Chains A and B, each alone.
Chain A
Amino acid sequence: MSDQIQVKTMAEMLANGEEPEVLFWVGCAGSFDDRAKKITRSFVSILNKIDIKFAVLGTEESCTGDPAKRAGNEFLFQMQAMSNIQVLNSYGVKKIVTTCPHCFNTLKNEYPGLGGDYEVMHHTQFLTGLMSDGRLKVEGGSFKGKRITFHDPCYLGRANNEYEAPRNLLAKLDSELVEMKRCKTKGLCCGAGGAQMFKEAEKGNKEVNIERTEDALEVKPDIIATGCPFCNTMMTDGVKNFEKEGSIKIFDLAELIAEAQTN
Chain B
Amino acid sequence: MAIGSILFIIFLGAASFLFFRSVRKIRRNILLGRDVERTDNSSLRWKTTLRVALGQSKMVVRPVAGFLHILVYAGFVIINIEILEIVIDGVFGTHRIFSSWIGVDVYRFFINCFEILALLVLLACVVFLLRRNVVKIARFWNPEMKGWPTSDANLILIAEVLLMSAFLTMDAADVMLMQTSAETLASAGLDKYAINWSGSGFTVSSLLTGLLPTDIATLHIIERFCWWFHILGILAFLNYLAISKHLHIILAFPAVYFSNLKAKGEFDNLESVKNEVELMFDPSVDPYAAPPEPDENAVPVAFGAKDVKDLSWKQLMDSYTCTECGRCTSECPANQTGKLLSPRKIMMDTRDRLTELGNYIDKNGLEAEDDKTLINDYITPEELWACTSCNACTEACPINLDPLSIIVDLRRYLVMEQSAAPAELNNMFTNIENNGAPWQFAQADRLNWKDE
Are B449 and A67 in touch, CB under 8 angstroms? no
Are A188 and B333 in touch, CB under 8 angstroms? yes
- On chain B, the residues within 8 Å of A158 by CB distance are 264-265, 390-392, 394-395
Are A65 and B273 in touch, CB under 8 angstroms? no
Instruction: Tell me, in angstroms, the Cα distance from A197 to B422 when the chains sit together.
Output: 13
Shortest A57–chain B CB gap in Å is 8
Instruction: Tell me, in angstroms, the Cα distance from A205 to B338 when the chains sit together.
Output: 5
Are A109 and B263 in touch, CB under 8 angstroms? yes
Q: How many residues of B are in contact with the other chain, CB < 8 A?
A: 68
Q: Which B residues, 355 to 385, have Cβ-Cβ distances below 8 Å to chain A?
A: 382, 385
Are A114 and B334 in touch, CB under 8 angstroms? no
Are A62 and B390 in touch, CB under 8 angstroms? no
- On chain A, the residues within 8 Å of B245 by CB distance are none
Which of A71, A189, A202 contacts B415, CB < 8 Å?
Answer: A71
- On chain B, the residues within 8 Å of A205 by CB distance are 337-338
Which of A41, A65, A192 contacts B388, CB < 8 Å?
Answer: A192
Q: Which A residues, 187 to 241, have Cβ-Cβ distances below 8 Å to chain B?
A: 188-189, 191-208, 210-212
Instruction: Tell me, in angstroms, the Cα distance from A199 to B273 when the chains sit together.
Output: 25
Are A189 and B390 in touch, CB under 8 angstroms? yes
Q: Which B residues, 91 to 141, have Cβ-Cβ distances below 8 Å to chain A?
A: none
Which of B264, B273, B341, B439 contacts A75, CB < 8 Å?
Answer: B273
Shortest B431–chain A CB gap in Å is 8
Q: Which A residues, 46 to 62, have Cβ-Cβ distances below 8 Å to chain B?
A: 56, 58-59, 61-62
Instruction: Tell me, in angstroms, the Cα distance from A212 to B433 when the chains sit together.
Output: 32
Instruction: Tell me, in angstroms, the Cα distance from A50 to B396 when the chains sit together.
Output: 42
The total of Cβ contacts below 8 Å across the A-B interface reads: 217
A39 closest partner in B (C-beta): B449
A8 closest partner in B (C-beta): B450
Instruction: Tell me, in angstroms, the Cα distance from A193 to B334 when the chains sit together.
Output: 11
A178 part of interface (Cβ distance < 8 Å): no
Instruction: Tell me, in angstroms, the Cα distance from A173 to B385 when the chains sit together.
Output: 40
Q: Are A105 and B266 also in contact (CB < 8 A) when A70-B389, A191-B388, A198-B424 are?
A: yes
- On chain A, the residues within 8 Å of B446 by CB distance are 26, 31-32, 58-59, 61
Are B447 and A31 in touch, CB under 8 angstroms? yes
Are A62 and B392 in touch, CB under 8 angstroms? no
A69 part of interface (Cβ distance < 8 Å): yes
Are A63 and B432 in touch, CB under 8 angstroms? yes
Which of A30, A86, A193 contacts B281, CB < 8 Å?
Answer: A86
B225 part of interface (Cβ distance < 8 Å): no
A1 part of interface (Cβ distance < 8 Å): yes
- On chain B, the residues within 8 Å of A249 by CB distance are none
B428 closest partner in A (C-beta): A198
Are B411 and A71 in touch, CB under 8 angstroms? yes
Shortest B21–chain A CB gap in Å is 38
Q: Which B residues, 290 to 308, have Cβ-Cβ distances below 8 Å to chain A?
A: 303-304
B452 part of interface (Cβ distance < 8 Å): yes
- On chain A, the residues within 8 Å of B425 by CB distance are 71, 195, 198-199
Are B266 and A109 in touch, CB under 8 angstroms? yes
Interface string of A57-88 (1 = CB under 8 A from B): 01101110101111111111011101100100
B408 part of interface (Cβ distance < 8 Å): yes
Instruction: Tell me, in angstroms, the Cα distance from A12 to B265 when the chains sit together.
Output: 33
Interface string of B416-452 (1 = CB under 8 A from A): 1000011011011100110011110101111111101
Which of A68, A194, A200, A204 contacts B429, CB < 8 Å?
Answer: A68
Are B280 and A109 in touch, CB under 8 angstroms? no
Q: Which B residues, 384 to 418, have Cβ-Cβ distances below 8 Å to chain A?
A: 385-392, 394-395, 408, 410-416
Q: Are A76 and B432 also in contact (CB < 8 A) when A202-B334, A202-B339 are?
A: yes
Instruction: Tell me, in angstroms, the Cα distance from A191 to B411 when the chains sit together.
Output: 18
Shortest B400–chain A CB gap in Å is 13
- On chain A, the residues within 8 Å of B386 by CB distance are 201-202, 204
A183 part of interface (Cβ distance < 8 Å): no
Shortest B429–chain A CB gap in Å is 6
Q: Which B residues, 190 to 244, have Cβ-Cβ distances below 8 Å to chain A?
A: none
Instruction: List, sorted by A's number, 17 A–B pairs whose CB atoms are closer than 8 Å.
Output: A7-B447, A31-B437, A56-B447, A61-B446, A71-B415, A73-B416, A109-B262, A158-B390, A158-B392, A158-B395, A159-B265, A188-B336, A198-B425, A199-B424, A201-B386, A202-B386, A211-B336
Q: A59-B447, A154-B388 are in contact. List 13 more A-B contacts (CB 8 A).
A: A26-B446, A31-B445, A32-B437, A67-B438, A72-B304, A72-B412, A72-B413, A74-B270, A105-B263, A114-B269, A186-B395, A193-B388, A211-B333
| Closest A-B pairs by Cβ, 4 of them | A159-B265, A72-B411, A194-B389, A205-B338
